[in-house]
Each structure stands twice: as C-alpha cells, then as structure tokens.
Structure 1
Amino acid sequence: MAEGNAVEVRGLHVRRGTTEVFKSIDLDIPRGQITGLMGPSGCGKTTLMRSIVGVQKIAGGTVTVLSDPGGTQVQRRRVSYDTQAASVYGDLTIQQNLRYFARLIGAPTSDVDRVITQVGLADQAKQTVDSLSGGQEKRVSLAVAMLGTPELLVLDEPTVGLDPLLRSELWEIFRGVAEAGATIVVSSHVMDEALRCDRIVLLRAGRIIADTTPARLLTDTGESDPDAAFLALIERDAAASAQAHHPMTRRQAREEASE
C-alpha cells in the first residue's frame, strides 16, 4: 500500500442479489484530505463506503484501509462510519449517547465533552435527542463518529435534507477535523459541496467517471458552476458509452468529420 494513501481499492466487484453494483473499480484515497464521493442516487456511493468500512459483502477484489484489509478488528478505533440515518438513541440525552458510545469503543471519557463542543452542541448537552432539530440530531451522530479521534471518517450524506446554513456549519467541522490530520470520505448528491472537497470522485451507474480536484473539474469542463460541470461529465460519459455499444464505422466517422 502506498504510504500516502488511507484507502486503496483494487478490482472491487460487488453484487446485491441479481444486481451488479460494481464490476471492477480501482480507487486511491490519500491521507489527510477530504474526498467527496459525488453522484446521483443509486450510483454506488453507499456501497463503496460500506465496502471501505468492511460491512459490505464483496464478490471480488480487495479493499485496503490504513494498511490492513477493510473491516478488520484492528480498525475498530481507527475508522468510524456515520450512516445516512442518525444512529443515536432518541430517549437519551446527547451526553448520555456520547458516554455510551465512548464506552463501546474504549474512547476516553474526556472525549465526550470534546466532541460535543466540536459539533457546537455544548448548550444542548443535557437535552434528549428526540427534542432536537434534524440538523442537531445529525450533529450528534457526527459527534459519535468523532469519538476516539479516528484516523479515517466515512460519512454517508451527512448534510442531506439540511438548509444551506446548517450544511455550511457542518462543512466547517469537516474541514477542522481534516486539518487536525484525519482523512474524511464524504458522500453527497449536492454538487456545490464538491467545491469544499480536496478531491472529487464522480460515480455513475457503478463506475468512476472522474477522479479530480474542484479546480480541474471546472477547468476540464469549461464550466463555472459545479452542477453544470457534473452534468457535462455525465453527458460526456453517456455519449462515450453509447459510442462503445454502437460504434461508428470508419466510413461514417469520416463522413461526419467532413460535414
């Protein structure tokens, strides 16, 4: 495994029932950066994340995380996973939730107040989760993922359904965690969030169609808006796929070029 990578995926093949999610994908995720997995719903973002944290059954290929196979016991305290649904208990307070999960993973008790403060919920620490807004509940779930100072945080659409202000506040938290040395993999289908990442991986129909940076994304497509840039890449990929299935003859290509 390359020293600068937190994750290396090679030839990943995943089936779900009769559906083939990935045939064979390769991906490197560098350490200390925010890598955004972008793309429409159903493109494979969650399956890829589940494969990275070791909870997805795979049909072939390898996933190496922090130099060990994904999902091994040694990674329990080094890797955290925040699912789309907030995985906290509604009838417990924020503080009680964090104390419970800290004990589960063996994180120090001092971590509880630290992460509650980091996600901006110190004033609500003694409130039950059920009494919180949706955005606050997502912050509690994020706080759980930050316990124990993990080296890799895998966050599945943590800002979905939130208003622009709340999304911006969460991204400030992500950036602070990354600047402290952690690697973050975050998925989203809100394309303007791509500009907040260090790297962008765009998936379409179980394939990686772009692995780039925000600046290169806009430069390569000639667009100034991320939505337009992603649409341009998807249209380009769709055209290439159509061409591969129905290639023009050389004569047709010459005739088209001469028109």
Structure 2
Amino acid sequence: MKVSNHSFWERGVDTVEGIIAVQNVSKHFGDHVVINDLSLTMGRPEIFGLLGPSGSGKTTLVKMIAGIDAPSSGTVSVFGEGMPNLKLMGQIGYMAQADALYEELTAKENLEFFASLYGLNQTKRQKRIVEVMEMVSLKSDLKKMVKDYSGGMKRRLSLAIALLHEPKLLILDEPTVGIDPVLRKTIWDKFESLRDNGTAILVTTHVMDEAERCDRLGLIRDGKMIATGEPGQLKRETNSSTIEEAFLFYGGAGHEN
C-alpha cells in the first residue's frame, strides 16, 4: 500500500530540502550533453523513481547524486552537504547498474569485505549479513562462489551489499534487472517497508509496474526532466491509462516542456 504524503507529516519526519537537492545540473563529456539543466528535490523519505529510456541520462544523474561523479555545472547536495562528499558515504547505499563484485570470493566474503569498509563491528556484521541475504532470498547461497552465481543472483547480492549498513538513502540503478517477477515483487515490498521506516529511496527503472509503485516519478528524456509527480497525478494530467502513455505524452513533439 502506498503511503500518502500526509502520513509522512504525521510521523514528524523532517521535510527539509536536504535529502536530495539537484539544482540546474548539467553534465557533458566533451561536446556530448548527457544531463541538461536538470533539477529535482527529495525532502522526505519516499520512493522516487527515475523513468526513462536507455541513454536518457538516468545513470549519469544517480552517479552524481551518489557522489561518484561531479556535475559540469549546477549543484548536487545530499543531506544538505555538497556532493561528492566522502563523509556521507556511510549514510548512502549505492547499487550500480553493473555489479561490482569479487567473483573469486564467496558471497559471504564479499559481504564481509564491504561490511568492513562501512565500519560494522563483528557482531553487527554477522547479524546484518544474515538479514540482508534473507531479504534477497540468498541465505542458502552464502558460501557459494560469486562466479557461480547467475546474473539475477548477482543483482540480488549487489542489493544486499547496498543494504548492509542500513543507509538513510538508497540509490539503486535498475536493481531488479534479471530478477524473476515473484522475487521482484517481494523486493519491492521490502522497499516500501524501508520507506515506511524512514529510508529514502531513489531508483531508476524502465519497468512500468515498478514505476506505478513509486511515490513520485521523474520522467527523463534526452537528459532533461520532462515531468515529475505522483503516478496517478501524471496519468490524470495527461488523460492516460498507463504511465507509459503519460511518458509518451510529456515527451511528444507537440508538448511544451
């Protein structure tokens, strides 16, 4: 069940502009403009989905928000601090589109390594390893070599690593690619539970049923944010029955951006 904006206020969550604030950001590589004067804010814990086709700039944007890359112009801040900012890494969980795993190690050894980077003590480390692997249904594969994991299992392990240190902000780039529909639903149920308990989640997706489960969406095309709003709002404003139809409307040649 989707949580209304009103319920966030009732729980007294701080609604400053400081979870994520992207202001007039552009990013170019040589003459190629990837992000063009884009702005977005997240002021309270929610699931904010970035929806757009391949090459629209979603991954470049989340890398800048995660502090992995810097904008060519404009500003990016997280929790009121300018990014990149190493001291915020302990508050951010980042899952890249490409799995960054040590294939010659077991899943448990990968988790142990990343837990040590996050500074988790031994007791906390073991507890969280079990919790996150249960969350992604991989507990029975803890001692398996990562090179023997399927593509979908690697995505789930990458998600478990991003969750290890209980970050305040989760940044997830196409987290469910290659994961079967039943498990994908379970993972999204967990995202909603995390959101309800105060974790802010920024997720990129091209899956329409996932977009429907987001509290708000940002529609990106050619490096520009062409619309933002709740899924139902975007459909109502465009007289659309699906998010895909709404996206096509906002990106259409006849629509004023």
TM-score by length of 1: 0.86
Asked if 1:239 is matched to 2:254, the reply is yes
Counterpart in the other structure of 1:168? 185
Provide the identity percentage. 38
Determine the C-alpha separation between the residues in 2 that align with 1:130 and 1:180: 34
Whose Rg is larger?
A: 1
C-alpha separation in 2, matches of 1:140 and 1:17: 35
Number of residue pairs matched? 240
Which of the residues 34, 37, 61 maps onto 1:48?
A: 61
State the AA in 2 paired with 1:74.
K
Shift in Å, 1:2: 6.3
1:131 corresponds to which residue? 148
8 Å contact from structure 2 (residues 67, 85) kept in 1: yes
Contact 1:119 1:173 survives alignment (8 Å): no
Q: Runs of 5+ in structure 1 lacking a partner? A: 245-259
Matched residue SS, 1:77: helix
SS in 2 for 1:186: strand
SS at match of 2:154: helix
* Matched position secondary structure for 2:254: helix
CA shift digits 1:111-159 (9 cap, x unpaired): 2222122222212222222222222211100011011111111111112
Structure-to-structure mapping, 1:45-84, within 5 angstroms: 45-84=58-97
Residues 174-197 of structure 1 deviation map (CA, whole Å, 9 limit, x = unaligned): 222222211110001222221010
Q: Counterparts of 2:114 and 2:104 in 1: how far apart (Å)?
A: 15
SS for the counterpart of 1:89 is: coil
Aligned to 1:251: none
> Residue in 1 aligned with 2:168?
151
Task: Tell me the distance in 2 between the aligned counterparts of 1:131 and 1:22.
Answer: 37
Would the aligned equivalents of 2:51 and 2:204 in 1 still touch at CA under 8 Å? yes
- For residues 1-259 of structure 1, the aligned pairs below 5 Å read 3=16, 5-108=18-121, 109=125, 110-235=127-252, 238-240=253-255
The letter of the residue matching 1:239 is G
The two structures have a TM-score, normalised by structure 2, of 0.87
| Amino acid across the alignment from 1:85 | A
Give the whole-Å Cα distance in 2 for the aligned partners of 1:76 and 1:162.
27
User: 1:27-86, CA deviations, whole angstroms, 9 ceiling, x for partnerless residues?
Assistant: 102321100000111111011101101122322111110111122122010012110111
Structure 1 residue 164: deviation in Å? 2.5
